[in-house]
């Protein structure tokens, strides 16, 4: 049991849990704006991104990478985090648009989900290696 506690106390697992919550937030907001309100899917993706990325920054700062940090929330790190995630947003929107071109989806939330999955890999590398790196 102790090994299981150690495993799930690692920043990667915490990051994945935060990312999972961020994905749910992103998809819920995207669904409302794109599939219910019929807002342009790219604009809906940006709105969903802004809400989810803000939530994820706070949770990652306060929980996932808290052991590596000696300080609290930082606007500078938030801006850096959003910048890095913006690269993932571009990748997400690219995947979303390619999938929408290839097929007529009943719900645009489905290709949005695939875009988020691809972008999550880039997000982890950016967050763990650059934004929340261990201070020495």
For residue range 55-113, list pLDDT tens digits in order. Answer: 999 998 888 777 666 567 889 889 988 988 888 899 999 999 999 999 999 999 999 99
Task: Say if CB 73 and CB 61 are below 8 A apart.
Answer: yes
Q: What mean pLDDT is predicted for residues 105-132?
A: 84
For residues 136 and 123, what is the distance between their CA atoms, to the nearest angstrom? 23
């Amino acid at each position: 049991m102790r090994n299981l506690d150690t495993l799930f106390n690692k920043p990667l697992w915490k990051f994945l849990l935060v990312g999972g919550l961020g994905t749910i937030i992103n998809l819920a907001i995207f669904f409302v704006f794109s599939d219910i309100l019929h807002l342009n899917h790219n604009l809906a993706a940006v709105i969903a991104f802004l809400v989810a990325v803000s939530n994820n920054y706070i949770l990652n700062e306060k929980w996932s990478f808290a052991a590596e940090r000696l300080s609290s929330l930082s606007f500078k790190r938030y801006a850096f985090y959003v910048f890095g995630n913006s690269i993932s947003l571009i990748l997400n929107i690219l995947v979303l648009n390619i999938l929408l071109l290839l097929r007529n989806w009943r719900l645009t939330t489905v290709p949005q989900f695939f875009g988020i999955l691809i972008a999550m890999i880039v997000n982890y590398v950016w967050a763990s290696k650059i934004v929340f790196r261990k201070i020495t």
